[in-house]
Amino acid sequence: MSHRKFEHPRHGSLGFLPRKRAARHRGKVKAFPRDDPSKPCRLTAFLGYKAGMTHIVREVEKPGSKLHKKETCEAVTIVETPPMVIVGVVGYVKTPRGLRSLNTVWAQHLNEEVKRRFYKNWCKSKKKAFTKYSKKYEAEDGKKDIQAQLEKMKKYCTVIRVLAHTQVRKMKGLKQKKAHLMEIQVNGGTIAQKVDYAYDFFEKQVPVDAVFQKDEMIDIIGVTKGKGYEGVVTRWGVTRLPRKTHRGLRKVACIGAWHPARVSFTVARAGQNGYHHRTELNKKVYRLGKAGQESHSAMTEFDRTEKDITPMGGFPHYGVVKEDYLLIKGCCVGPKKRVVTLRQTLLKQTSRLAMEEIKLKFIDTSSKFGHGRFQSTQEKDKFYGRVWSRVLNVKVKNMRSDMVDEQPYRKNTKDFLRHQQKILINLAVLPVKWTATSCATSVESPDPSFDKILVGGKKPETKAVLLLFLSSKLL
């Protein structure tokens, strides 16, 4: 198998050439689902952010299969999908050379995060984008002009798409301030109904459950992880040369004949690997989690443990999932925090895999940084015992710089805790009834046994070690 020249000379399709860096960071929808005027108006795509992966356990419903009525473990990807905001509508007309945009109507108010998309350097700019356009809504002539453009769309256009952007300010894990803007095609209904549908949603939020449903097959469009400049063995999977080869062995020895006097495009060469635009078809939605509801948690019908979808310690290199999310079977293109485009499937799904109803039994929420032993904080506390930080749950009031030591406390929580650990041995515990003018502060606890008063002292007569932990909520 080490000298396959004709059967498998390389690993990798030539249909994806040229293997170069994608022109855009966000996945582009190059084809939308076919329109059906008999159905109500709806959007056909959405934007989300890849959070991470975990695994689930479910029971397979596939009569005739050996897995029928048996449990299976599958990998899933969590894609966080905060609501998108519609800020415009675009009308297209058909021409012999494809679609051509007729006109565009924008909303009156645009958020700063979407205005940043139109600037290369927002900090140095005058931030005047759409200021003149928004004044159209204030004048009567401007309102008439906007209505005239909408009527023109209803008369001539054949395709209607809305302009929607993400809300990156809700994504605490992202440091990006510039929203992602895309066109989403409106399917269903007549052209007039589509225009009215888009105009009614101006400056309104559209949740992900308005586009996708549970157990639906969707397509994921995005840009893969970038690997940089790679050689032919890694990039194309060709066979290494023998050990005694002169001037390197991770190469292609013969790159072509003398004539034609050029290198064919089919020859494996070194170059860019990764950061390619790719489309994955038929990814099944296992769960659609809504923020603030039970579906946002990782509880199932069989596992009633109260735990959030975010694993212990958060998703590595991402953080905590607080907004709506989709639980999608399998992997997803791109690294963590990468924006991915979710599109409704182009074809009618009739397979048993697509029609199967998914009933999750278990969703793993153990730590993804390490081996991951515990599913929740309660399970960890039950194993290790009561942790002092949660038993005390103390709350310090009226903090003063001369409470225990003369050094003033810093505002940083970690520095404050380190300072407290150094002087724990100098703290004395006295009953509540004891009062003194030197009392600096009081400590409250839900547990009566810890209802004490802390009094500072350099070397008190009664040396009692108080294990005091001040949580970050105190500052």
Question: Are 313 and 52 a contacting pair, CB within 8 Å?
Answer: no
Burial 183-221 (b: 16+ CB within 10 A, else e): bbbbbbbebebbbbbbbebbeeebbbbebbeeebbbbbb
Model pLDDT, residue 392: 53
Burial of 325: CB neighbours in 10 Å, binned 0-12, 13-18, 19+: buried
Q: Please tell me whether residues 312 and 404 are part of one structural domain.
A: no
User: Does any domain span residue 29?
Assistant: no
60 and 153 share one domain = no
Rounded-to-integer distance, Cα 114 and Cα 125, Å: 15
By C-alpha distance, which of 440, 319, 322 is closest to 368? 319
Check which CATH number belongs to the domain holding 93 and give it: 3.30.1430.10
CA distances from 203 to 86, 146, 176, 198, 199 (A): 6, 16, 21, 10, 9
Residues 423 and 346 in one domain: no
200 and 338 in a single domain? The answer is no
Q: Residues 399, 290: one domain?
A: no
94 part of a folded domain: yes
In this structure, are residues 332 and 79 in contact, taking their beta carbons and an 8 Å threshold?
Answer: yes
Does some domain include residue 232?
no
Ranges of the chain whose pLDDT falls below 70: 1-7, 386-475
How do strand 42-43 and strand 181-187 relate by DSSP bridges?
A: antiparallel
Q: Cβ distance 41 to 189 under 8 Å?
A: yes
User: Does some domain include residue 250?
Assistant: no
Query: CA-based angle 209:26:111, to the nearest 5?
Result: 70
Domain's final residue, options 173, 206, 239: 206
On whether both 65 and 122 belong to a single domain, the answer is: no
In a domain, 233, yes or no: no
Give the residue ranges of DSSP H helices in 241-365: 352-355
Query: Can you give the residue range of the structural domain that contains 427?
Result: 389-474
Give yes or no: residues 142 and 190 share one domain: yes
In a domain, 9, yes or no: no
pLDDT of residue 47: 98
Domain CATH for 339: 2.40.30.10
Tell me: do 150 and 97 sit in the same domain: yes
**Spatial distance between the Cα atoms of 439 and 436, rounded to a whole number of angstroms:** 6
Residues 110 and 134 in one domain: yes
Give the pLDDT score at 412: 55
* Claim to verify: residue 213 and residue 350 sit in the same structural domain: yes
Q: Which residues does residue 56 pair with via DSSP β-bridges, in sequence order? A: 74, 363
Query: Would you say residue 346 lies in a domain?
Result: yes
Question: Which of 147, 165, 42, 169 lies closest to 103 in space, CA to CA?
Answer: 147
The count of other CB atoms within 10 Å of the CB of residue 275 is: 17
Neighbours of 99 (CB within 10 A): 13
Q: How many domains does the chain have?
A: 3
Establish if 10 belongs to a structural domain: no
Q: Are residues 166 and 74 in the same domain?
A: no
Token pair listed for 35: 């329109």
Which residue is listed with tokens 């994921």?
Answer: 220
**What is the Cα–Cα distance from 58 to 286, expressed in whole angstroms?**
10
The secondary structure of 39-92 as a DSSP string is SPPEE-EEEEEEEEEEEEEEE---TTSTTTT-EEEEEEEEEE-PPEEEEEEEEE
pLDDT on residue 384: 87
3-class SS at 272?
strand
Q: Which of 206, 237, 255 is the last residue of a domain?
A: 206
pLDDT at residue 9 in the model = 75
Please indicate, yes or no, whether residues 319 and 454 belong to a single structural domain of this protein: no
